[in-house]
Structures are given as C-alpha cells and as structure tokens.
Amino acid sequence: MSSYSQTDIKYLNGVGPKKAEILNKEIDVFSVEDLLYYFPYKYIDRSRIYFIHEIDGNMPYIQLKGRITAFETFGEGRNKRLVAHFTDDTGFVDLVWFQGLKYITDQYKPNMPYIIFGKPTIFGNKFNITHPEIDPYKDEESRPSGLMPYYNTTEKMKRHFINSKAMQKLMATAYTSVSRNITESLPQHIVNGSKLMGLAEAIKNVHFPDNIPLLREAQRRLKFEELFYIQLNILKYTTERRNKLKGIVFQKVGDNLNTFYEKNLPFELTNAQKRIIRDIRHDMATGQQMNRLLQGDVGSGKTLVALMLMLIALDNGYQASLMVPTEILATQHFLTISELLKGLNINIELLTGSTKKADRERIHTNLLNGNLQILIGTHALIEDTVQFNNLGLVIIDEQHRFGVAQRAKLWTKNHRPPHILGMTATPIPRTLAMTVYGDLDVSVIDELPPGRKPIQTKQVYDKRRGALYQSIQKQLEEGRQVYIVYPLIEESEKLDLKNLEEGYKHIQEVFPGYTIAKVHGKMKPKEKDAEMQRFVNKEAQIMVATTVIEVGVNVPNASVMVIESAQRFGLSQLHQLRGRVGRGADQSFCILVTPYELSADSRKRINIMVESNDGFEIAEADLKLRGPGDLEGTQQSGIPFNLKIANIVRDSDILQYAREVAEKVLENDPQLSNPENTILLRQLRKLGGNRYDWGLIS
C-alpha cells in the first residue's frame, strides 16, 4: 500500500490517542494499513430472518425475530443459568445464559420485539441458543442486513467501547480515506497468472462483502498473499543459508558401526529403519549440514536408528550427543545404549541436572579432550559450560519438547555446526511442517518392528471398574505388567499428588498380592529412577504414575495402559501414553477411563483414540480439533507468526499452491532482481521484522 496508509492510526477519524494506544497494545494495530489488515473472523448472513419452526439441528448462526415471554433461572452457584423463553408465534426456543445473568435481565424485557442471533442446538426435545446476541427491533429499514462482518475484540477494547460494531465503523472510515491510494502488493504477473482479485478490491470485499462469491474471492486473494510471502521468505532464506553453510563430511563407515552390526544388533532392522539409515548416511556425506526431522510412530524403533547414526559419527572421528526431554528417558536411553554397545570400546556418559559435581567435571574434561565419545543427557547438555572437542552429530529425541532457542544452542557447540537430527513421534502434519520448517528434510519410519499386535483401545466408564480390574488381574496373572496413569492438573500439583496417592492406595487394595511402583514429577530424580528400575526389572508389576512417564519409556513386558480421567488429556498425549505398551509381542490394551458425561470435544478425542492407532491420523485430527496455534509442541517448535487470515489446516491447498508459485518465482529469478519482481523484494523487506532464522529451527 501507499505511504498514506502508513498514517498513524491515532489520526484516523474516531480514534484519537487514547483508543490508538489500546489498538496498539491489544491487537497490534499501529497504522491505517494495519487496521485494514485486521480481518473479520466471521460473517453472518443477516439478510434472512428464520422462523422457529424451520430450525433443524444442523444450522449455522441464524436470525430470529420475536419476543421473550418469560425469564427463569435454574441451578445454584456456579451451575446457575438463566433461560428466556422466546417465541415468534411459529414455535419456542430457549435462550440460555451462564454468565452475566443480571445484565441480561436488566437490559432485556419480556414482550418487546427483538432480533436475536445465534446458533441453535438441540437440548432434550427443545432448541436452545446459548449466549445469543440481541438487538431491539425497530423496523426493516434499520435492522442489520447483508453479510455482517464480525471482528475479534478483547475485554479491554470493549471496555473502551471498541466492540465489533465500532470496528466496522472504523473500517469504513479507514477504507474511504485510503481506498484510492491502495497499491497492489503482488506483481502483476502473479495476480494475472493466478487469477487473483486486486488488492484494493479484496480489502473492500473482505470488510464489506456484497455477496458470498465476492467475499470468497477476496479471502482467497488475501490468504494467498499471506501464505505466498511466508513461503517466499522461507524458501529464499533457506536456499541462501544452504549455499553458504558448509557441513561436516562423514565419508566412511568404520569399525564401530560394522562391529555393532555384525555382533551386537539384537534383531534384524526393519526395512524402514534400513532406508532411513541409508538416507541419513548419504545426507551426512554431502558436505552440507544435515537438518532433518525423523518422524516415526511410538515404538517404531527410533532409538536404534539414533544409535547407529551416532556410530557413524564416531567412525569418522567425531563425537555424538543425544538430547532428551526428561531424566527418566535420559537414564533409560543411557542404560539401553550402554547395553547395546557392550563389548565395543566406546566411552559413553550420562549428563542430567542431577549429575554430581565430580562426575560433571570429569565429563566436561573428557568431552573437551575427546576421550568421551557419546554424551546422553537432558537439556543440561546445552549449558555453556558443556564444550565438546569435535561434536559431529546431535540427535534430539522427542524434539517437539524443546524450544527453538534450546535447539539453536546446539549449533554453536562446534566451530562447524554439527549435523542435527530431530526425532519425534508426534508428527507434524505435512502442511504444518511445510509452513514451519520450509525446507527441513523429513524422513518417516512408516513401519513397526514385526510381530507387533495393534493395541486394543477401549473406553471404560469410571463407575464400571469391576470388569476392568478383572481383566487387569488376568494380565498380571499371565506375568504382564500394567501402567496406571493419573492426569496432571497443572494449577494444582498438590491435587495431582492427592489423586495419585489415592489411586495408589486404591490400587493396593484392589491388587493386594502385587508390588506397585509409583512415579510423579515431585520426586527426586534418584527416587524416580529407582522406582522406574523396579518396574523395568519386574520387581513391581504395577506402575502408578503421572504423565512423567509419557515420553519414550520402554518396558516391552508391560501390556496394559490404564489412563484415568482420559478426557483431561490431549490427543497426542494420549497417543504417547498408549505407546508405552504394545512394545513386545503380546497383545496390549489401552483403557481410557472417563466419566459418563463428556463434552463434545472430549468425546471426539476418545473416539479417535478408540478407532485409530495411527499417529499421523491422530495428529491431523488433533490439529483439526484444536487449531494449529494450539497444537501441542508447535508453540515450542516455533510457529513464529500469527496468521491474519489464512488457516494452515483449512487452507492447505492455497498453501500448497502458494508454495509452488513461490518456488517458480525463485527458480526464474533467484535474486528477485527482475524489474517485475522488485515489488516482491520490497514486500519481503517490509516483512523483515518477521524474518526468522529458519536455519536455527531444526
């Protein structure tokens, strides 16, 4: 847009310094242009008024015209709700409020004409509209009509009278004042080539749509623009980085890997494991730094892959390191890997927050002089005091649990950045990976080791534990082990513990003949390890725990995972927990214990778990249910931007297309130096503030 649209928002008619400050702070709107790029989050078709007798269970937001016949309140305290019986003489609906009851009864009176507006849902045999919008009805002339935009506003904005309606007014003022100055922000060849609506027209139609087709066109144009520039930015920057950065070259396969393969490998690798190792070996020999994400469902055997890759690093004279998110997991990896490496002359150590000072010092020294070859640890190993002699490969297990900054620190652990491999069982759906990582290489282990039986997942109501305990008893008698997990209630660790302690007692009473281990977040690492070990070596048959055992833990003899209050967990967490069983050849079970009454979302989550064992499917479903900003791990993995209009899930085809267009542009004009592309450079520079160091996201 033109410089005119850069005008400070405080000069816009109807704003002023005070409101400007609120717009700045609350929604990042500083200029008139910013305002025009603050898009409605929904539109309501107010051209039509429905009759109550037309309502069915499947309607979006609709408008009704009628009157309230009476108010009634139900329940007490937090369960109190207000119901207004509403009629238009073709039927009745109940309007329901759970909050602001007094305001409603003060504001609205029975037998006055109102336009109400909301989404009807079926409740019992009646229709219900919760928290509807209500406007007094005067006449047809003055009632809202057409497609009405709705803008998100915060509490603070509302307190200063900037609600959605006020935003509409501001938009109108803003648009009229700059409409003639809006200049195109995409090169003409792209606008034409992709049949896009021009910018000025799109801005107009997104705020004041005349009809739905025009609105769709406007949205498509603006979404494209948003996604296109993100892709162009990522692609341009990562290509430059790739060309600049030299990587360590791992040329050979040497004694360590060969001996391990011939003498120590406990089982045949799966084809997927072989393929991944081959690909990554190739990657690490190209002379470019590897930056790869390995996705493999829980139990697919990522640890073994990690180990063999580390051996390649060792064979080439470099050190390797494995970083994991929890102490339990670090210890477990250390023990497993030490066991697997028995007989090979390899120096391996464990470094966590609870490593003793003397051990720590020994580790520091041996890392620096190169005697120590493999270091396994928690984030303790990214501390500045931890310096390597020649670190060649870093593997980050459960990488979504680490922040961008934490991962970035690993880059500086060697004068030439080490190869980086992230591993995760919480797959990032493809569309999201593309947006977040740009050109990060992704490998997928799409095969489980042979002989695994799919885990059977069942939902059990908490009032019907009898049968559940019987089947647990049966498993225990067959020599299997059982996990029972209690949810983590973050607001109250005390309450957590109470849940867990009560559960522990209860389980002791139900299974008197068995030994029960207990692990929770408040225990000292030493105690945690000791309890974990009791379970690993079968001294304890039942493990009662909070989610500290969520990631990575591997006890193949465990065949039952009971998750208490399963409705409290997110999908990927449930999938991770379930992945703690089904690791051996026995049939395993996952039992999701829930109350009888569940919210619609919880019910969906539980159903997905019961129906699917596929981590990718679950991740996609999770993304759809929660929306991308909320996806577990994405915040940490650093989706560093707020999209203004596009939605990477719903708009994945526009994203795909925008990426192709961006690729083509860079292919023809890598420096963007053609005159027709100067506009692209200018826009990229403008987005400069949002330029991320993509290279550091591994």
Per CB under 6 A, residues contacting ligand ADP are 267, 269-270, 273, 296, 298-304, 425, 449, 554, 556, 583
**Residue 418 binds which entry of ligand ADP, Mg ion, none, CB below 5-8 Å type-dependent:** none
Tokens at 338, concatenated: 């030490």
304 binds, among Mg ion, ligand ADP, none (CB under 5 to 8 A by kind): ligand ADP
Q: Which does 296 bind (CB under 5 to 8 A by kind): ligand ADP, Mg ion, none?
A: ligand ADP
Give 133 or 447: the residue with its C-beta nearer to ligand ADP: 447
695 binds, among ligand ADP, Mg ion, none (CB under 5 to 8 A by kind): none
Q: Taking the complex as a whole, how short is the minimal distance between the CB of residue 579 and ligand ADP, in angstroms?
A: 6
DSSP conformational letter for 262:
I
Report the sign of the C-alpha dihedral through residues 445, 451, 455, 456, in that order: positive
Contact between 552 and Mg ion (CB under 5 A)? yes
Q: Residue 502: is it exposed, middle or buried by C-beta count within 10 angstroms (0-12/13-18/19+)?
A: exposed
Query: Can you tell me the distance from the alpha carbon of 3 to that of 11, in angstroms, rounded to the nearest whole number?
Result: 14
The entry of Mg ion, ligand ADP, none near residue 427 (CB within 5 to 8 angstroms by kind) is: none
Smallest distance, Å, CB 575 to ligand ADP?
11
Residue with tokens 């709107």: 29
**What, of ligand ADP, Mg ion, none, does residue 628 touch, CB below 5 to 8 Å by kind?**
none
Q: Residue 301 binds which one of ligand ADP, Mg ion, none, with CB within 5 to 8 A depending on kind?
A: ligand ADP
Q: By C-beta, is 40 or 584 nearer to ligand ADP?
A: 584
Give the SS3 label for residue 152.
coil
Alpha helices (H) along 144-297: 155-159, 164-178, 188-193, 199-207, 212-244, 255-259, 271-283
Q: Which of residues 393-422 bind Mg ion (CB under 5 A)?
A: none
> Minimal distance in Å, beta carbon 445 to ligand ADP?
7
Least CB distance to ligand ADP at residue 335 (A): 12
Footprint (CB under 5 A) of Mg ion, residues 254-283: none
> In angstroms, what CA-CA distances link 546 with 289, 377, 543?
39, 22, 10
Q: Check residue 615 for interaction with Mg ion (CB under 5 A).
A: no
With tokens 């009405």, the residue in question is 148
Q: Can you state the percent helix, strand and coil of the chain, rounding each to 5?
A: 45, 15, 35
Between 233 and 326, CB nearer to Mg ion: 326
Q: Residues touching Mg ion: how many (CB under 5 A)?
A: 1
Q: How far is the CB of 337 from ligand ADP (least distance, A)?
A: 10
Measured CA to CA, the distance from residue 579 to residue 485 in angstroms comes to: 13
Handedness of CA 312, 313, 319, 323 (dihedral sign): negative
State which residue has the least CB distance to ligand ADP: 301
Residue 270's binding partner among ligand ADP, Mg ion, none (Cβ under 5 to 8 angstroms by kind) is: ligand ADP
CB of 204 to ligand ADP, least distance (A): 52
Minimum CB distance to ligand ADP, residue 398 (Å): 8
Smaller CB separation from Mg ion, 40 or 552 = 552
Q: Could you tell which of ligand ADP, Mg ion, none binds residue 554, using a CB distance below 5 to 8 A set by kind?
A: ligand ADP
Least gap, CB of 577 to ligand ADP (angstroms): 12
Tell me the chain's radius of gyration from C-alpha atoms.
30
Provide the minimum distance between the beta carbon of 202 and ligand ADP in the complex, in angstroms, as a whole number. Answer: 46
Query: Cβ of 393: how many Cβ atoms within 10 Å?
Result: 28
Nearest distance from C-beta of residue 225 to Mg ion, angstroms:
40
**66 touches Mg ion by CB under 5 A:** no
Strands 374-377 and 516-519: unpaired
Tell me whether residue 37 or residue 402 sits nearer to Mg ion (CB atom).
402
Assess contact for 363 and 348: CB atoms under 8 A. no
Report the b/e string of 178-191 with b at 16+ CB within 10 A: beeebeebbbeebb
If the CB atoms of residues 134 and 329 are measured against ligand ADP, the closer one turns out to be 329
Show contacts of 162-166: CB within 8 Å, 24+ apart.
162/19, 162/22, 162/23
Q: How far apart are CA 540 and CA 532, in angstroms?
A: 9
Q: Which is nearer to Mg ion, 552 or 638 (by Cβ)?
A: 552
Cβ distance to ligand ADP smaller for residue 269 or 598: 269
How many CB atoms sit inside 10 A of residue 449's CB? 18
Residue ranges in contact with Mg ion by CB under 5 A: 552
